A and B are shown apart, each in its own frame.
Chain A
Amino acid sequence: MDFEYFFELFLGGLTRGSIYALLALGYTMVYGIIQLINFAHGEIYMIGAFTALIVAGVLTLMGWNQVAILVIASIAAVVYSSAYGFTAEKIAYKPLRNAPRLSALISAIGVSLFLQNYVLLAQTSDFLPFPNLIPEFEFLKPVEHIVRSSEIVIYLTTAIVMVALTILIKFTRIGKAMRATAQDQQMAMLVGVDVDRVISVTFIIGSATAALGGVLIASHIGQINFYIGFIAGIKAFVAAVLGGIGSMPGAVLGSLVLGWTESFFTGYISSDYEDVFAFIFLVLILIFRPSGILGRKDTDKV
């Protein structure tokens, strides 16, 4: 077996997986807290990318240096996307919190379509070039044909975000409140947890990771349009389910497994059936582990 080829496919899968993971984390957090599949999550990611594009465009005109642009554009994207996530929750999900779960799901699909069309009308339906915001590291020059600096940055960001979120949930006050809300909303409320605030924070954090993903992925790929959120969102959702929705490490593991599956299948067999194979794999895993690779068995609360 050709080891170099295997290694390249491995890295390609790792990139894809990390990209999915940045989105899957947001899905899984929101699901963990309020059992809502937030279909608008992909759109939040898309809005993050658009915000970064606009901010970066302005700053480039003003002649700022690349690292400063990356940092400021990322912050702008995070703030803007978080605002959208926060608002979407207040407008579209909060009023439906006690309605059947399906209503909130339909509402999420509505938000997704609304945001897509809003960007389509407010911006453009064309593909836009996205500047390469991530600087090329000197020390990577010799291995540039195997791994690029934007890929390294994506791996690192995903790892950092995952660790930070785990610490946040395990060891902080708000994390404790989150876990309480996830376990039993009513009980949490009774012991004094501000459930509304916890849910808002969850949406803000989820949107922020999606926005970071948007900036990194767009500058890795180099183009965006209003529709990128849809496919990425669906894939990330699948990854979250694969890993066990509601579980943080599960979301990352599921994303990596999905990324590697796609990469190796394309590399060794054929890219024609890339998605088919990815989904067959999903079905197989769900048959043997219905709650995902790292999912907890969840007995329904009646």
Chain B
Amino acid sequence: MVKNHFGKLLILLVAAAFLAAAAGPAMAADTIKLGVAGPHSGDLASYGIPTVKAAELVVKNINAKGGVLGKKVELIVEDDVCKPEVATNTATKLVGAGVNVVLGHICSGATKAALGIYKDSHIVVMSPSATNPALTQSGNYPNFFRTIASDDAQAKLEVEFALNVLKVKRIAVLHDKGDYGKGLAEFAKGFLEKDPRAKVVLYEGITPGAVDYSAVVQKIKRKKAEAVIFGGYHPEASKIVTQMRKKKMKAYFISDDGVKDDTFIKVAKKYAEGVYATGPKDVSKNPLTIKARAEHVKAYGSDPGAFFENAYAAALALLNAIEKAGSTDYDAIVKALRTEYVDTPLGKIKFDEKGDAIGVGFAMYQVRNGKYVEVK
């Protein structure tokens, strides 16, 4: 019965095909697997989705050019809803799926929870957005890299600028008692206290929205501060600066991204002149940024969301490191990340010993003639 035999043969063939498919991943890799983890649903989804889209765009481009090490890149996307307790499961799933490198996680808490699992499995993780300083500085996670500046980067830049460029000694540190401002002021105070050249003459929180700050301004004057480092936002900053200048005080005023806002100049007007503020480096004129944003608009019909450039850069850096390393070996990838420069929307970057991207982050700006100008 020819027909019967043919039927059996068919079943056999199909079964064989299934087996082959199932055995595929185990038999090492005809694809490079890039895991993407972050919140893709829930309240914080808007922080995670742009990273997935960035990864999709990068992978599409790279695959169109022949992939990495001659293999196609495959995306494996897992949702951690930004929760540490979910993130460990997400990490376990990604490790189980055999990812080579991971782009993520998005939130600092979730990243920290997941990192141990990747570390044990020797997988490199790169976050576009986790800014907690300890993630890199503690040295506990040699497998962790990031393409965003850590939370204390602004404070560090402010302190270094005050001590090295302005060469001041007596510094008053103020903050607005909020999470952002106080966090920053605490970092700044920490850096200043470690430096023998500086003296913190005043460290105080002010009440946001108060009708005036004349008492605090008097205090700055009395302590003979040569510079004020302020952590907070522009409404309070403009009140303080205005009152300082009206009292003929010449102390430098150095602040942060919350003040590097055109509203500050609009409100403080002539008193804003000469104020220093740190802000993210301007990458909008980088041709790669322009290209990446255009790709996003073409593919998804909208402008990209939060951390898109950082994620785009991270995906490029990870895949470039594998290509340069010549394998998916953990040590080789780490070495490539630390030594090989890669061209990204954030500029040409590589990573330092701790995992922070060199050349990414903040620059110092000064108000000159009613505009924030980068201080070179």
Query: Which residues of A come within 8 Å of B, CB atoms?
Result: 2, 5, 8-9, 11-13, 15-16, 19-20, 126-129, 144-145, 148, 217, 220-223, 225, 227-228, 231-232, 235, 262-264, 266-267, 270-272, 274-275
**A-B CB contact pairs (8 Å), 30 listed:** A9-B215, A12-B212, A12-B214, A12-B215, A13-B215, A15-B214, A16-B211, A128-B267, A129-B266, A129-B267, A129-B268, A144-B248, A145-B248, A217-B211, A220-B212, A222-B242, A222-B267, A223-B239, A225-B235, A231-B209, A231-B210, A231-B211, A262-B215, A263-B214, A266-B216, A267-B218, A271-B215, A271-B216, A272-B205, A274-B210
Q: Known A-B contacts: A129-B268, A264-B215. Give 8 more (CB < 8 A).
A: A5-B222, A127-B238, A127-B263, A148-B246, A221-B211, A223-B267, A227-B209, A271-B207
Chain B residues lying within 8 Å of A235, measured Cβ to Cβ, are: 211
Chain B 218-247 interface 0/1 with A at a Cβ cutoff of 8 Å (1 = within): 110010000000000011001100100011
| Most chain A beta carbons < 10 A, residue from B218, B235, B242, B247 | B218
Query: Which residues of B come within 8 Å of A, CB atoms?
Result: 177, 204-207, 209-212, 214-216, 218-219, 222, 234-235, 238-239, 242, 246-248, 263, 266-269
Chain B residue with the shortest CB-CB distance to A225: B235
Instruction: Provide the bound-state CA to CA distance between A262 and B212, in Å.
Output: 11
Instruction: Provide the bound-state CA to CA distance between A116 and B218, in Å.
Output: 33
Instruction: Provide the bound-state CA to CA distance between A12 and B213, in Å.
Output: 9
Chain B residue with the shortest CB-CB distance to A20: B211
Distance in angstroms from A261 CB to nearest chain B CB is: 11
Distance in angstroms from B97 CB to nearest chain A CB is: 45
Distance in angstroms from B146 CB to nearest chain A CB is: 33
Instruction: Provide the bound-state CA to CA distance between A15 and B248, in Å.
Output: 19
Chain A residues lying within 8 Å of B266, measured Cβ to Cβ, are: 129
Instruction: Provide the bound-state CA to CA distance between A50 and B268, in Å.
Output: 18
CB–CB A267/B215 < 8 A = yes
Instruction: Provide the bound-state CA to CA distance between A20 and B210, in Å.
Output: 11
Distance in angstroms from A166 CB to nearest chain B CB is: 25
| Most chain B beta carbons < 10 A, residue from A2, A20, A227, A266 | A266
Chain A residue with the shortest CB-CB distance to B206: A271
Partner of B267, one of A5, A16, A19, A127: A127
CB–CB B267/A232 < 8 A = no
Q: Which 5 A-B pairs have the closest CB atoms?
A: A12-B214, A266-B215, A272-B205, A129-B267, A263-B215
Chain A residues lying within 8 Å of B247, measured Cβ to Cβ, are: 145
CB–CB B235/A127 < 8 A = yes
Instruction: Provide the bound-state CA to CA distance between A94 and B174, in Å.
Output: 47
Distance in angstroms from B254 CB to nearest chain A CB is: 19
Distance in angstroms from A267 CB to nearest chain B CB is: 5
Partner of A221, one of B207, B212, B248: B212
Chain B residue with the shortest CB-CB distance to A262: B215
Chain B residues lying within 8 Å of A221, measured Cβ to Cβ, are: 211-212, 239
Chain B residue with the shortest CB-CB distance to A227: B209
| Most chain B beta carbons < 10 A, residue from A8, A19, A145 | A8
Chain B residues lying within 8 Å of A11, measured Cβ to Cβ, are: 214
CB–CB A2/B222 < 8 A = yes
Chain A interface, >50% SS class? helix
Chain B residues lying within 8 Å of A128, measured Cβ to Cβ, are: 267
Chain B residue with the shortest CB-CB distance to A6: B218
Instruction: Provide the bound-state CA to CA distance between A266 and B206, in Å.
Output: 9
| Most chain A beta carbons < 10 A, residue from B206, B212, B234 | B212
Contact (A272, B209) CB under 8 Å given A144-B248, A222-B267, A223-B238: no
Chain B residues lying within 8 Å of A231, measured Cβ to Cβ, are: 209-211
Contact (A222, B211) CB under 8 Å given A129-B269, A267-B219: no
Instruction: Provide the bound-state CA to CA distance between A156 and B102, in Å.
Output: 67
Chain B residues lying within 8 Å of A270, measured Cβ to Cβ, are: 204
Instruction: Provide the bound-state CA to CA distance between A274 and B177, in Å.
Output: 12
Chain B residues lying within 8 Å of A222, measured Cβ to Cβ, are: 238-239, 242, 267-269
Chain A residues lying within 8 Å of B211, measured Cβ to Cβ, are: 16, 19-20, 217, 221, 231-232, 235
Chain A residues lying within 8 Å of B177, measured Cβ to Cβ, are: 272
Chain B residue with the shortest CB-CB distance to A265: B215
CB–CB A271/B205 < 8 A = yes
Distance in angstroms from B21 CB to nearest chain A CB is: 57
CB–CB A223/B212 < 8 A = no
Contact (A275, B239) CB under 8 Å given A220-B212, A223-B267, A263-B215: no
CB–CB A9/B210 < 8 A = no
Chain B residues lying within 8 Å of A227, measured Cβ to Cβ, are: 209
Distance in angstroms from A16 CB to nearest chain B CB is: 6
Instruction: Provide the bound-state CA to CA distance between A235 and B219, in Å.
Output: 23
Distance in angstroms from B240 CB to nearest chain A CB is: 11
Instruction: Provide the bound-state CA to CA distance between A231 and B247, in Å.
Output: 25
| Most chain A beta carbons < 10 A, residue from B214, B215, B267 | B215
Distance in angstroms from A24 CB to nearest chain B CB is: 13
Chain A residues lying within 8 Å of B210, measured Cβ to Cβ, are: 231, 274
Chain B residues lying within 8 Å of A220, measured Cβ to Cβ, are: 212
Chain B residues lying within 8 Å of A2, measured Cβ to Cβ, are: 222
Instruction: Provide the bound-state CA to CA distance between A221 and B271, in Å.
Output: 13
Distance in angstroms from B218 CB to nearest chain A CB is: 5
Chain B residues lying within 8 Å of A20, measured Cβ to Cβ, are: 211
Chain A residues lying within 8 Å of B268, measured Cβ to Cβ, are: 129, 222
Distance in angstroms from A278 CB to nearest chain B CB is: 10
Partner of A5, one of B207, B218, B242: B218
Distance in angstroms from B186 CB to nearest chain A CB is: 13
Partner of B212, one of A16, A129, A225: A16
Instruction: Provide the bound-state CA to CA distance between A270 and B246, in Å.
Output: 23
CB–CB A127/B234 < 8 A = yes
Distance in angstroms from A37 CB to nearest chain B CB is: 20
